[in-house]
Each structure stands twice: as structure tokens, then as C-alpha cells.
């Protein structure tokens, strides 16, 4: 949905300035994305066009996280199961990973402090596991996203 948003508070609203008395920042036009819990994908409308479920605000900018990055993310996070995100809807937006609708930040500052040995070990593990990625859930999630947002696509391309 294209609407006005307060760039300071990151809250969508229908006013020329933020409605919070302590803010009063001029709003800007923004694309607002919502999360459909039922379809487990971001949608451009407050009500999911695919299933009719009321969705909640998630971000103003979002991109899919491909299976290879999901594997790397799990390794960087030190997850016991490096394939733990294979059956999750993983996106990146507003400075955080969004995993099944929940935001999760990772600290690049902390990663930059890691030793080269630690980084090499993660790369070696990644190289060992990358060919075993099962992308079937990712493919279904992308299809659900496309289906849920086809009207938006048609609107902006016509």
C-alpha cells in the first residue's frame, strides 16, 4: 500500500505531519508492507488479498532472503541446525531479518570483530553444506508472495 509515513517514528498515518505531539515530523509517501500470518509472506495491503486474513505492519522495504543466504545466516548465528531456515519465510527489511514474521537483528559490528579463523570456519561449513540446500519451501513461499501481491504488480505495471 502506498501511504504517508512519519520517517522518524516509522508509523503510517493519514496526515501531513506526524500525529504524535512530541514528533510533528512531516510525513512522506511510502510503500507499507504488512505480514500475513496465515500465508507467512509480506503483502501490500492491510488485509491479505490471498486469504483474507488481517495483516499487521512489518516494514516499508523488504526483500526475500534466498536459501543460500539463509544457510549463511544460520551459520553466522551459530544455529545448531544450519538448515533451520529451510522451512521458514525469511526476508530482509528495515535493517533486520524477518523470519516467519518476526524481526531479528544481527550485529555487523560484532561480526566485523571476528577472527579470520572463525570466518574461514564458517565459510568451510557453508561450502560443505550449500549443495544440500532444499529450496522447495522457498519456492512455495515465493509463489505465495506473488499470488498474494499480483494485484499490486498489475497496478504498478499497467
Q: Which residue segment(s) compose the domain that 123 sits in?
A: 63-133
pLDDT tens digit string along 48-76?
A: 999 999 999 998 889 999 999 999 999 99
Bigger pLDDT: 138 vs 156: 138
E-strand stretches of the chain: 2-6, 11-12, 28-31, 33-36, 41-43, 56-59, 63-64, 90-93, 96-99, 102-104
Is the CB of residue 47 less than 8 Å from the CB of residue 1?
A: no
Above 80 in pLDDT, residue 12? no
Counting the structural domains of the chain, the total is: 1
Give the pLDDT confidence score for residue 147 in this predicted structure.
96
Give the pLDDT confidence score for residue 100 in this predicted structure.
98
105 part of a folded domain:
yes
30 part of a folded domain:
no
Give the pLDDT confidence score for residue 2 in this predicted structure.
66
Query: Average pLDDT over the chain, rounded to whole?
Result: 93
% of the chain at pLDDT higher than 70? 99
Q: How confident is the model at residue 3 (pLDDT cuts 50, 70, 90)?
A: confident
Q: How much is the pTM?
A: 0.81
Amino acid at each position: 500500500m502506498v501511504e504517508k509515513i512519519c520517517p522518524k517514528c516509522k508509523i503510517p498515518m493519514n496526515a501531513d505531519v506526524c500525529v504524535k505531539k512530541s514528533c510533528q515530523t512531516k510525513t512522506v509517501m511510502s510503500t507499507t508492507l504488512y505480514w500475513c500470518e496465515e500465508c507467512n509472506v509480506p503483502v501490500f495491503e492491510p488485509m491479505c488479498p490471498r486469504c483474507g486474513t488481517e495483516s499487521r505492519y512489518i516494514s516499508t522495504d523488504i526483500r526475500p532472503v534466498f536459501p543460500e543466504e539463509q544457510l549463511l545466516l544460520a551459520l553466522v548465528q551459530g544455529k545448531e541446525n544450519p538448515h533451520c531456515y529451510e522451512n521458514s519465510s525469511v526476508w530482509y527489511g528495515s535493517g533486520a531479518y524477518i523470519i516467519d514474521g518476526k524481526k531479528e537483528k544481527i550485529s555487523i559490528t560484532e561480526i566485523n570483530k571476528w577472527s579470520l579463523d572463525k570466518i574461514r570456519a564458517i565459510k568451510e561449513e557453508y561450502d560443505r553444506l550449500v549443495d544440500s540446500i532444499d529450496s522447495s519451501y522457498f519456492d512455495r513461499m515465493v509463489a505465495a508472495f506473488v499470488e498474494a501481491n499480483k494485484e499490486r504488480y498489475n497496478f504498478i505495471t499497467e
